[in-house]
């Protein structure tokens, strides 16, 4: 669940406001104090800053309220044409959208803030925006790009902290030389000290963010190095929120290394801190983490039967608490993660109904299976059912009045009615089961889904031969910079939906998307003698679709690069944190190399795939080309069918 945690720690790097009267308060208590202070603010500058502060504090309690107060700050700042405050309000609104997992909206506001801060040459603002944009790239699993932005912010934060240290030292020396310090002098010194403390907190958050990315890259040594640097600073300034988050991240890393006792130790330490601070966001995340850890312990082979049962019960208990807290917050990201985890826990506990219900919630949230159109249709069916039922009841009542003296006949009618209700209920249960099965099939191949329902698990299997395809979009980052976040996501959706339709047409199993990359395999879980031919046919249709897209929308269209290789793979569901079907093996790596050595609008295939399709398609031999970590490989461009 590192995806959840990065949101929390990066939010600590939004911006800081000089409001010392509230320095000792946190969470809802601080919000209440700010709300009481708001009507007293007469000057527009102070009011804007207070509204921004409210927006920031509401982020972990009620993001919708945070957006409301951030919007008020933005409107007031725009009326006065205060560009610095406009940037701050945009950043605060973006962070609330980030808390709601609405990343296109978040990126839109972050970019507006960054543009203004760069115009104003505001180093602190640039650092904050760089960190927040890094979050978005992290969400897209573009870890290198995320590190670029985090490391862009790091020297700025270090320089700002060093500058504040010098200013505080200078102010202290000046005050020492004075025989008597007036109130202004003392206030200036306190302000310098507060600025230094805030700067250190922001530096610690920046370091912790870098640690999170390294953790996601499974470089736990580097991650711990940056966590320790951040902890030193948080200890110096008594930043409990920062310490709680780092303990949480360290617990996650221990979990990844199967050190469950240490993972629980840090998870509980983190949750106690968040409970003390009144942070529902933090408490919810840790409830989910602790529940996931108990689930992993229950699944460990070394555990005795009684320990497995106890740990499984604790897993369900903590995940259920996490779901309830996430519902109170309206946090979609947490609900998705926790619903997936508790579904797996119910499977191991043998509670299939609860498992399917949780899986249904997870799938609905993640993939929007039930569209508004489907909801309207279901509502119409329910209305129709009620009308039919009312008609039947009216008919029965008429029969009763006409035959009220015929007790036996009336009893017979009642019996028939009861039988009808039983039949109707059975049909309803069957329909619900069918819907649940459809939800499961939406994320897993049919054979794997059946195995999972029957046994509660799915074994990894070896498949030989199969054909794997990789696609990606050429110069995706350059294109993305020219499009709004909403346009970018809409175009990706259009392309990947078309790829899905084409894959389904040829019986190809989509494996996953990562950023702008698309991966699929032909020949599993059901073997096919035409796996290579089917894949090349699909690749040609994908290529043609992208060419037609180019003609339709012009420069905004992406150019696709495709690579195909055939061989053996291992496929299945593995691990305890990600409920997804995947494939592994050298065939996958080689297919990726074919894609990397392809060019825009071309399908690059290996010698192995060429030998399987040479009689069906015209191919152009490219010669031997060096592929990363594979040496020289023979490659071919597919032109078309013969």
Question: 587-640 pLDDT, tens per residue?
Answer: 998 999 999 999 999 999 999 999 999 999 999 999 998 888 778 899 999 988
Distance CA 53, CA 89 (A): 9
Residue 428: half-sphere exposure toward Cβ, Cα within 13 Å: 9
Write the CB contacts of 586 (distance below 8 Å, at least 6 apart in sequence): 567
Distance CA 616, CA 492 (A): 31
The 10 Å Cβ neighbour count of residue 379 is 10
pLDDT of 220 > 70? The answer is yes
Cα distances (Å, whole numbers) of residue 301 to 2, 222, 307, 456, 573: 25, 30, 11, 16, 18
Q: What is the pLDDT of residue 142?
A: 82
Residue for token pair 């305890």: 576
Residue 29: half-sphere exposure toward Cβ, Cα within 13 Å: 10
Distance CA 104, CA 106 (A): 5
For residues 558-580, give the mean pLDDT. Answer: 80
For residues 180-186, give the mean pLDDT. Answer: 63
Distance CA 164, CA 201 (A): 13
State the greatest distance between any 2 C-alpha atoms of the chain, in Å, as a whole number.
Answer: 112
In 3D, which of 365, 325, 291, 288 has the Cα closest to residue 4? 288
Of 187-191, 404-408, 492-496, least confident by mean pLDDT is 404-408
Strand ranges in 283-332 using DSSP code E only, listed in sequence order = none
pLDDT of 185 > 90? The answer is no
CA torsion angle for 161, 166, 170, 176 (degrees, to 10)?
70
On whether the CB atoms of residues 132 and 95 are closer than 8 A, the answer is: yes
Angle, CA 104 vertex, CA 287 and CA 493 arms, to 5°: 100
Q: What is the pLDDT of residue 555?
A: 83
pLDDT of 371 > 80? The answer is no
Question: Chain-wide mean pLDDT for the chain?
Answer: 80
On whether the CB atoms of residues 571 and 582 are closer than 8 A, the answer is: yes
Of 9-13, 192-196, 302-306, 342-346, least confident by mean pLDDT is 9-13
Angle, CA 278 vertex, CA 277 and CA 283 arms, to 5°: 100
CA torsion angle for 77, 81, 87, 88 (degrees, to 10)?
-30
On whether the CB atoms of residues 566 and 579 are closer than 8 A, the answer is: no
Q: What is the pLDDT of residue 184?
A: 67
DSSP string, 185-231: HHHHHHHHHHHHHHHHHHHHHHHHHHHHHHHHTT-HHHHHHHHHHHH
Of 30-39, 359-368, 491-500, 501-510, least confident by mean pLDDT is 359-368
Give the residue, 385 or 105, on which the prediction is more confident: 105
Question: 578-598 pLDDT, tens per residue?
Answer: 567 788 888 998 999 999 999
Cα distances (Å, whole numbers) of residue 125 to 61, 102, 292, 447: 24, 22, 37, 52
In 3D, which of 339, 344, 340, 312 has the Cα closest to residue 327? 339
Question: 476-492 pLDDT, tens per residue?
Answer: 878 777 888 778 888 88
Q: Can you give 381-433 as a three-state secondary structure string?
A: HHHHHHHHHHHHHHHHHHHHHHCCCCHHHHHHHHHHHHHHHHHHHHHHHHHHH
Tell me the residue length of the chain.
642
pLDDT of 150 > 90? The answer is yes
Give rounded-to-5 percent helix, strand, coil for the chain: 70, 10, 20
Distance CA 77, CA 75 (A): 6
Chain mean position to CA 391:
48
Give the residue, 581 or 26, on which the prediction is more confident: 581
Distance CA 75, CA 291 (A): 43
Give the residue, 411 or 57, on which the prediction is more confident: 57
Write the CB contacts of 482 (distance below 8 Å, at least 6 apart in sequence): 556
On whether the CB atoms of residues 295 and 576 are closer than 8 A, the answer is: yes
Q: What is the pLDDT of residue 19?
A: 36
In 3D, which of 529, 528, 559, 556 has the Cα closest to residue 543? 559
The 10 Å Cβ neighbour count of residue 481 is 10
DSSP state at residue 555: G
Give the residue, 383 or 428, on which the prediction is more confident: 428
The pair of three-digit structure tokens given for residue 209, joined into one six-digit string: 């963010």
Distance CA 317, CA 322 (A): 9
Question: 104-144 pLDDT, tens per residue?
Answer: 888 889 989 989 998 999 988 899 899 998 888 787 778 89
548-581: b or e for each residue (b if 16 or more CB lie within 10 Å)? ebbeeeeeebbbbbbbbbbbebbbbbeebbebeb
Q: What is the pLDDT of residue 166?
A: 78
Q: What is the pLDDT of residue 489?
A: 83
Q: What is the pLDDT of residue 9?
A: 37
Residue 344: band (very low, low, confident or very high) from pLDDT cuts 50, 70, 90: confident
Of 156-165, 307-316, 554-563, least confident by mean pLDDT is 156-165
The pair of three-digit structure tokens given for residue 187, joined into one six-digit string: 């206030």
For residues 231-244, give the mean pLDDT. Answer: 90
Q: What is the pLDDT of residue 394?
A: 56
Question: 428-448 pLDDT, tens per residue?
Answer: 555 555 555 555 555 566 666
Q: What is the pLDDT of residue 424?
A: 60
The 10 Å Cβ neighbour count of residue 356 is 21
Using DSSP's 3-state secondary structure scheme, residue 619 falls into strand
pLDDT of 273 > 80? The answer is yes
Residue 531: band (very low, low, confident or very high) from pLDDT cuts 50, 70, 90: very high
Q: What is the pLDDT of residue 457?
A: 64
- Tell me if the bond preceding 465 is cis, omega within 30° of 0: yes
DSSP state at residue 623: E
Q: What is the pLDDT of residue 290?
A: 93
For residues 87-95, give the mean pLDDT. Answer: 93
Of 158-162, 401-405, 466-470, 621-625, least confident by mean pLDDT is 401-405
Q: What is the pLDDT of residue 642?
A: 72
Residue for token pair 């803030």: 113
């Amino acid at each position: 669940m590192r995806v959840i945690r990065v949101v929390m720690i990066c939010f600590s790097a939004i911006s800081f406001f000089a409001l010392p009267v509230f320095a000792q308060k946190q969470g809802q208590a601080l919000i209440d104090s700010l709300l009481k202070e708001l009507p007293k603010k007469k000057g527009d500058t102070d009011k804007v800053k207070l509204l921004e502060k409210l927006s920031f504090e509401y982020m972990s309690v009620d993001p919708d309220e945070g957006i409301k107060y951030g919007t008020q700050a933005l409107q007031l700042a725009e009326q006065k044409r205060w560009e610095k405050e406009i940037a701050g309000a945009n950043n605060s609104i973006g962070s609330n959208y980030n808390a709601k997992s609405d990343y296109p909206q978040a990126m839109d506001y972050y970019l507006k803030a960054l543009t203004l801060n760069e115009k104003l040459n505001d180093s602190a603002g640039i650092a904050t925006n760089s960190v927040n944009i890094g979050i978005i790239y992290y969400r897209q699993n573009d870890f290198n790009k995320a590190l670029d932005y985090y490391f862009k912010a790091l020297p700025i934060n270090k320089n700002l902290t060093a500058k504040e240290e010098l200013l505080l030292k200078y102010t202290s020396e000046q005050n020492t030389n004075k025989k008597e310090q007036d109130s202004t002098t003392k206030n200036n010194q306190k302000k310098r000290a507060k600025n230094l403390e805030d700067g250190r907190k922001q530096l610690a958050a920046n370091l912790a963010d870098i640690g999170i990315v390294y953790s996601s890259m499974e470089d736990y040594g580097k991650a711990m190095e940056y966590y320790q640097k951040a902890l030193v600073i948080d200890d110096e300034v008594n930043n409990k929120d920062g310490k709680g988050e780092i303990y949480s991240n360290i617990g996650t890393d221990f979990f990844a290394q199967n050190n469950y006792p240490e993972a629980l130790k840090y998870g509980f330490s983190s949750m106690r801190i968040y409970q003390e601070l009144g942070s529902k966001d933090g408490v919810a995340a840790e409830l989910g983490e602790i529940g996931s850890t108990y689930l992993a312990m229950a699944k460990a082979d070394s555990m005795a039967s009684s320990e497995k049962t106890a740990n499984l019960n604790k897993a369900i208990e903590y995940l259920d608490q996490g779901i309830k807290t996430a519902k109170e917050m309206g946090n979609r990201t947490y609900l998705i993660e926790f619903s997936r985890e508790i579904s797996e826990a119910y499977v191991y506990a043998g509670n299939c109904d609860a498992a399917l219900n949780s899986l249904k919630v997870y799938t609905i949230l993640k993939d929007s299976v039930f569209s508004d159109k489907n909801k309207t249709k279901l509502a119409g069916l329910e209305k129709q059912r009620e009308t039919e039922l009312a008609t039947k009841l009216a008919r029965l009542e008429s029969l009763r009045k006409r035959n009220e003296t015929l007790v036996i006949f009336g009893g017979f009618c009642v019996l028939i009615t009861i039988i009808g209700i039983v039949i109707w209920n059975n049909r309803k249960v069957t329909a619900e089961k069918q819907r649940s099965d459809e939800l499961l099939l939406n994320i897993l191949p049919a054979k794997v889904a059946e195995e999972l329902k029957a046994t509660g698990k799915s074994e990894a299997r070896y498949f030989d031969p199969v054909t794997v395809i990789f696609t990606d979009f050429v110069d995706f980052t350059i294109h993305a910079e020219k499009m709004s976040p909403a346009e970018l996501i809409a175009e990706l959706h259009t392309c990947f939906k078309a790829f899905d339709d084409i894959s389904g047409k040829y019986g190809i199993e989509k494996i996953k998307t990562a950023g702008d990359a698309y991966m699929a395999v032909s020949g599993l879980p059901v073997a096919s003698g035409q796996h290579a031919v089917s894949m090349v046919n699909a690749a040609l249709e994908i290529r043609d679709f992208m060419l037609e897209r180019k003609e339709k929308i012009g420069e905004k269209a992406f150019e696709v690069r495709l690579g195909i290789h055939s061989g053996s793979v291992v496929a299945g569901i593995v691990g305890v944190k990600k409920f997804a079907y995947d494939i592994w093996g050298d065939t996958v790596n080689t297919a990726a190399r074919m894609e990397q050595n392809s060019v825009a609008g071309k399908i690059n295939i290996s010698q192995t795939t060429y030998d399987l399709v040479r009689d069906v398609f015209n191919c152009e031999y490219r010669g031997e080309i060096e592929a990363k970590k594979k040496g020289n490989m023979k490659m071919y461009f597919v032109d078309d069918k013969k």
